[in-house]
Amino acid sequence: MAIHALTTTGFSFHLPFPKCSTAYSRSAGDRARTLCCSSGDGEFSGLINVSTESEFERRGGAQMAKSSDGKRSIQSSDGELGAKNSEIWQLFREAQRNILSLDKQRALAVEELNKAISEKKLLLERIEELEIEKQAMARKDQVSICWELLLRIDSMVLTGTISSGEASQMRQLIMDQKVSILDAFTEILQKKDAELLAELRQLSDRRNKNGFHIVHICTEMAPIASFGAVASFVTGLSQALQRKGNLVEVILPKYGSMDLNEVQGIRETEVEYYSYYNGQLHGNKIWTGVICGIGVTFIQPLYYSSFFNREKAYGYSDDFERFMYFSRAALDYIVKSGKKPDVLHIHNWQTAIIGPLFWDIFVQQGLEGSRILFTCHDIHSQPLIQPEKLALCGLDPTKLHRPDRLQDNPNTHLANIMKGGIVYSNKVVIMSSTHSKGHIIHSSSHGLETTLNMHKDKLLVSPCGFESSSWDPEKDKILPENYSADDMKGKSVCKIALQQKLGLPENASIITVGCFLSDLSDLSDVDKEDLIAIVKNGTRLAVQFIFMTTGKMKSGQKELESLQVKIESLQDENVRFINRHDETLSHLIFGGSNIILCQSLHDPILQVPLKAMRYGAAPIAITSNDNGFRHFPDHDYETTKLAMFINSTFGYLSFSQALDEINNNPSEWNHKVFDAMTKDFSWDAECCDIYLSAYTAIKSL
């Protein structure tokens, strides 16, 4: 018997008997039983409602017979009707089983369809991502090809294949005609130097120079040599400058701990070159490659090979000698390779000695058109040396150890290398996200107030940039749901996910506070007590706290353990302390938090305040005392836009004030969060603009 159609609301069968209709009723409390049959086409349609088959049969069977008009009628015949009833019951049960089976199949089909739709959506998103990555890689490869050509020219100079003068012309040719160069030489990078030179010499000698040629001489660069704030700065700013049409390269020491797999097109120059140190010339090996689309040269001392084959980059008694050697070797390399950069960009005390070296020795060696820009990332770090050590790199101590040059201000018998970088540079940029030029000179100069005040006309202040492509709540794949300033629904989803992940009470309306702890030696005892007070007061108001260490502890491990014991001793269900770094969880903490407690609002390494603002969380400095020091707006006209914004928006708030505003003035709070999320703090924004203005100014000197 074929079943034509089954649904949850009706069913039909082809049956071997005619239309019939039988109904029974019982006394009160009994259930009605109904049997309905369809017309003589053999289809059965309707509902049978009988408590049991035996009950149906007991009710007195009915026998179907044909009347004189040809229609079927029901007669009472227990035998024949009982057989028919049994057949109907069998069909009914089979129909029920088929209905349930079809329902299950339908549910599975719907589930599979939804899964297919979801997979299709994810696939389309992935295709779009791959296309974007492909385009980015194509642009990156173009820059890398350009840099491989330039670095090949450098090695040709060292091997004597071409003169420094011709090398300079060819570098200019590549810089001026980058697009045509890329089209012409993408396929011949593997050819010999002679073939490459022949092709280059055939190109037009047009000169339409745009942008600057900048050489960073530094001791750090992300990701290959990341030790502090300089590393991310050099890479981030260099990429931003190149995106705006400038040519930027980097010279680094070749540390023994480097992973050269991070370097694209790594090449070892076949010949040595020599640099001066301690009265003699010493051989160095040169390596070249491309990192993040930036041409990089590595200097490897041969005689003083131990200088950079160490476990750490800094922290040794001969640090001054090591980096003095590198600084002199970098300048010797620039001269011998025939480079004529517009700007030599030096960093911190480690390469500050390049200022005096350049003006006293190298400016007359073909670098007359170059200028010096000095960036101070950490003005507090000012190693002092015996003046006679300056002679190691060929400088005259008696000429330099003077109050207006390298003589330290409070310790007049010693030389201050940081001071030398300030005095001998054409422009000085001090990195700060919160302070103005006036505040730095008069309140944060660490003994250099006289020097900074004397050279204030060439002093600039710049904020750090931010790698916004890696930290963007609108595109962050780690977050359970993305969100933006215009649509914040996803932030509540992130908060619930964070609470679930850490076993916290789940409620999107609870105020959640994240805190990333790095080097606790930077926190005073008062700050630590303030932090404990914040947690105690906050938990009374059901505020949730999540602490995570960054994994980059330089010192203060005992202080961390002590702080952890104090926090965990509160034994509050709303507090979690995670003594390890988890990159995935850190994204979720930023995404799910309303407030991020910061050890400092100027954080060039971890960039916690900038990440917080990008993810719609308020950066609040650690202090519970409303009368304590706060970053009030500084109306000095030489204050950065970032400093003005962060100080006037969040810097003046204590933690208790922030809680009060969230609870009692949500519209004002949401406005602040919106403003912070929509500001551009990337490397391409204010930071890059300040440096371009500085380069422009010094080239006119």
20 lies in some domain: no
Same domain, 332 and 410: yes
Assign residue 447 a region (left: φ > 0; alpha: ψ between -120 and 50; beta: otherwise): left
Closest alpha carbon to 483 in 656, 614, 575? 614
Highest mean pLDDT among 41-50, 54-63, 150-159, 548-557: 150-159
Question: What is the side-by-side strand order in the sheet with 43-45?
Answer: 5-6, 11-14, 43-45
Mean pLDDT within 574-600: 95
Mean pLDDT within 569-578: 90
343 - beta bridge partners?
A: 214, 371
The residues, ordered by sequence, that sit 6+ positions from 231 with a Cβ below 8 Å of its Cβ are 220, 221, 222, 223, 225
What are all long-range contacts of 281-289, with beta carbons under 8 Å and residues at least 24 apart?
A: 284/329, 284/333, 285/254, 286/154, 286/155, 286/158, 286/333, 287/254, 287/260, 288/151, 288/154, 288/155, 289/151, 289/260, 289/263, 289/264, 289/265
User: 4-19: string of b/e by CB count within 10 Å (b at 16+)?
Assistant: eebeeeebbbebeebb
pLDDT tier at 523 (50, 70, 90 boundaries)? confident
Same domain, 290 and 437: yes
What are all long-range contacts of 624-627, with beta carbons under 8 Å and residues at least 24 apart?
A: 624/530, 624/531, 624/533, 624/534, 624/537, 624/654, 624/655, 624/656, 625/530, 625/654, 626/654, 626/656, 626/657
23 lies in some domain: no
pLDDT in tens, 201-248: 554 443 445 689 999 999 999 999 999 999 999 999 999 999 998 999
pLDDT at 72: 46
Give the SS3 label for residue 572. Answer: coil
177 lies in some domain: no
Do the bridges between strand 294-301 and strand 280-291 make them parallel or antiparallel, or are there none, so unpaired?
Answer: antiparallel
Give the SS3 label for residue 345. Answer: strand
pLDDT in tens, 379-433: 999 999 999 999 999 999 999 999 999 999 999 999 999 999 999 999 999 999 9
Q: Which two tokens stand for residue 110?
A: 């719907």
427 lies in some domain: yes
Mean pLDDT within 626-635: 50
Same domain, 601 and 538: yes
pLDDT in tens, 456-505: 999 999 999 998 888 999 999 999 999 999 999 999 999 999 999 999 99
Domain count, the chain: 2
Q: What angle do CA 524, 525, 530 make, to 5 degrees?
A: 95
User: Is the pLDDT higher at 198 or at 337?
Assistant: 337
Q: Which domain holds residue 508?
A: 488-681
pLDDT at 437: 94
Closest alpha carbon to 469 in 659, 240, 307? 240
Element (H, E) at 621: strand 618-621
Same domain, 656 and 696: no
- The backbone torsions φ and ψ at residue 374, rounded to the nearest 5 degrees and listed phi first, read -110, 125
User: 243-255: string of b/e by CB count within 10 Å (b at 16+)?
Assistant: eeebbbbbbbbbb
Q: Please say whether the beta carbons of 221 and 250 come within 8 A.
A: yes
Q: Which two tokens stand for residue 86?
A: 């049994």
pLDDT at 503: 96
pLDDT in tens, 128-160: 776 665 555 544 466 777 778 788 788 888 888
| Dist CA 351 CA 221 (whole Å) | 14
Same domain, 301 and 413: yes
pLDDT tier at 68 (50, 70, 90 boundaries)? very low
Same domain, 494 and 437: no
| Dist CA 358 CA 41 (whole Å) | 107
Peptide bond preceding 223: is omega within 30 degrees of 0, i.e. cis?
A: yes
668 lies in some domain: yes
589 lies in some domain: yes
Element (H, E) at 194: helix 193-202
Same domain, 676 and 696: no
Same domain, 409 and 501: no
The residues, ordered by sequence, that sit 6+ positions from 679 with a Cβ below 8 Å of its Cβ are 613, 645
Assign residue 211 a region (left: φ > 0; alpha: ψ between -120 and 50; beta: otherwise): left
Highest mean pLDDT among 466-470, 542-546, 565-569: 542-546
Q: Which two tokens stand for residue 240?
A: 């931003």
* Percentage of the chain modeled with pLDDT above 90: 57
Same domain, 502 and 428: no
User: Is the pLDDT higher at 186 or at 148?
Assistant: 148
Mean pLDDT within 309-319: 94
| Dist CA 670 CA 94 (whole Å) | 62
276 - beta bridge partners?
A: 281
- What letter represents residue 571's amino acid? Q
Closest alpha carbon to 632 in 612, 619, 648? 648
Same domain, 254 and 325: yes
User: Is the pLDDT higher at 700 or at 522?
Assistant: 700
Same domain, 445 and 300: yes
Size of the chain in residues: 701
Q: Please say whether the beta carbons of 241 and 248 come within 8 A.
A: yes
pLDDT tier at 553 (50, 70, 90 boundaries)? low
- Rounded to the nearest integer, the mean pLDDT of the chain is 83
| Dist CA 415 CA 442 (whole Å) | 22
127 lies in some domain: no
User: Is the pLDDT higher at 284 or at 187?
Assistant: 284
Residue for token pair 């071997």: 16
pLDDT in tens, 365-383: 999 999 999 999 999 999 9
The count of other CB atoms within 10 Å of the CB of residue 203 is: 16
Distances (CA, A) of 211 to 54, 216, 234: 98, 16, 18
Mean pLDDT within 8-17: 40
Q: Which two tokens stand for residue 165?
A: 């003068």
| Dist CA 576 CA 544 (whole Å) | 8
pLDDT in tens, 235-280: 999 999 999 989 999 999 999 999 888 899 899 988 889 999 999 9
The residues, ordered by sequence, that sit 6+ positions from 399 with a Cβ below 8 Å of its Cβ are 360, 405
461 lies in some domain: yes
Reply yes or no on whether the pLDDT at 521 is more than 70.
Answer: no
Q: Which two tokens stand for residue 672?
A: 């602040």
Mean pLDDT within 535-556: 85
The residues, ordered by sequence, that sit 6+ positions from 524 with a Cβ below 8 Å of its Cβ are none
Q: What single string gives the DSSP state of each residue in 119-188?
A: HHHHHHHHHHHHHHHHHHHHHHHHHHHHHHHHHHHHHHHHHTSS-HHHHHHHHHHHHHTHHHHHHHHTT-
Distances (CA, A) of 345 to 232, 330, 331, 495: 15, 12, 12, 43
Same domain, 346 and 258: yes
